[in-house]
């Protein structure tokens, strides 16, 4: 049986983010970075990375943070970003970063099961590290895609071409069937609600990166279908008003 490892976007090291050695490793670092930004509130290490070693690379990807962001005192900026993260992704009325909510209007539905199954098929095991976290969280899914890119890269470097081919098959299937149908559209909607430049820029970059990856993988027919799927509004459950009145909700 394949050895299982805990699955989390945090599993990717910051060293991998800042010093990729190949095109696949560079992509892995980028997806890992985006997953980390969406999985949890920034901490000092992430801010230091963004405002230091990664700044030039981000600017080359059309991510331009203002002088105020770059010069802001870290404790104050972390507090602001904590509040923004909660408002955007956690609090009532937010834009939940879950495929299940986008697709069904409910948490922990079939998309979460599909994501968990993909992790297991790749020899991984989902292990939540934050309260209320499920396998179909956008940040975790991006981190998993980064892991598959790393696996493909390692296989090619070590001459393990069967391993590389298997990792490529897993990641292309995951991209086309689990990330592609909803994540770019979710990013665009979340960006429309963001109040701080950090999340506006990160969400825009995530949308662009996922579309770019899809364009290099999907057929024209698949791209037309995925484009239509991402133009959907997230599902909103139609609760009966009389039920709300009777239940006191």
What is the C-alpha to C-alpha distance for residues 144 and 167, in angstroms, rounded to an integer? Answer: 11
* Phi, psi dihedrals of residue 94, rounded to the nearest 5°: -80, -175
Q: Which two tokens stand for residue 16?
A: 């991998």
Cross-strand partners of 6 = 125
**pLDDT score recorded for residue 10:** 44
Residue-wise pLDDT tens digits, 118-167 = 999 999 989 887 777 899 999 999 999 999 999 999 999 999 999 999 99
The superfamily CATH assigns to domain 5-247 is TorD-like (1.10.3480.10)
**Both tokens assigned to 107:** 């948490």
pLDDT tens, residue by residue, 36-93: 999 999 999 999 999 999 999 999 999 999 999 999 999 999 999 999 999 999 999 9
For residue 21, the model assigns a pLDDT of 52
**What's the confidence (pLDDT) of residue 133?**
82
Which tens digit of pLDDT belongs to each residue from 224-238?
999 999 999 999 886
Q: CA-based angle 199:98:188, to the nearest 5?
A: 40
pTM of the model: 0.87
Which residues neighbour 122 within 8 Å (Cβ) at sequence distance 6 or greater?
Answer: 144, 147, 148, 151, 167, 170
As a whole number, the mean pLDDT across the chain is 89
The phi-psi region of residue 116 (left if phi > 0; otherwise alpha if psi is between -120 and 50; otherwise beta) is: alpha
Distances (CA, A) of 198 to 33, 69, 166, 233: 13, 8, 36, 24
Q: Is the pLDDT of residue 223 over 90?
A: yes
125 DSSP assignment? E
Alpha helical stretches, state H, 123-235? 138-157, 161-174, 183-193, 197-215, 220-230
């Amino acid at each position: 049986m394949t050895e299982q490892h805990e699955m989390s976007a945090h599993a990717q090291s910051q060293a991998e983010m800042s010093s990729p050695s190949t095109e696949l490793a560079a992509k892995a670092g980028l997806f890992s970075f985006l997953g980390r930004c969406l999985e949890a509130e920034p901490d000092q290490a992430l801010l230091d990375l963004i405002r230091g070693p990664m700044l030039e690379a981000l600017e080359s990807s059309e991510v331009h943070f203002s002088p105020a962001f770059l010069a802001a005192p870290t404790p104050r900026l972390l507090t602001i970003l904590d509040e923004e993260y909660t408002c955007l992704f956690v609090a009532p009325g937010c834009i939940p970063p879950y495929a299940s909510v986008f697709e069904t209007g409910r948490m922990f539905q079939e998309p979460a099961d599909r994501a968990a199954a993909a992790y297991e098929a790749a020899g991984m095991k989902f292990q939540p590290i934050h309260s209320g976290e499920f396998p179909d969280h956008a940040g975790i899914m991006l981190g998993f895609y980064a892991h598959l890119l790393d696996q493909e890269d390692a296989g090619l470097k070590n001459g393990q071409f069967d391993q590389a081919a298997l990792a490529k098959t897993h990641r292309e299937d995951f991209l086309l069937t689990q990330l592609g149908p909803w994540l770019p559209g979710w990013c665009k909607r979340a960006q429309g609600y963001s109040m701080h430049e950090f999340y506006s820029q990160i969400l825009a970059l995530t949308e662009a990166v996922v579309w770019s990856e899809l364009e290099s993988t999907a057929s024209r027919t698949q791209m037309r279908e995925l484009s239509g799927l991402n133009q959907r509004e997230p599902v909103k459950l139609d609760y009966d008003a009389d039920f709300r009145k009777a239940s006191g909700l």
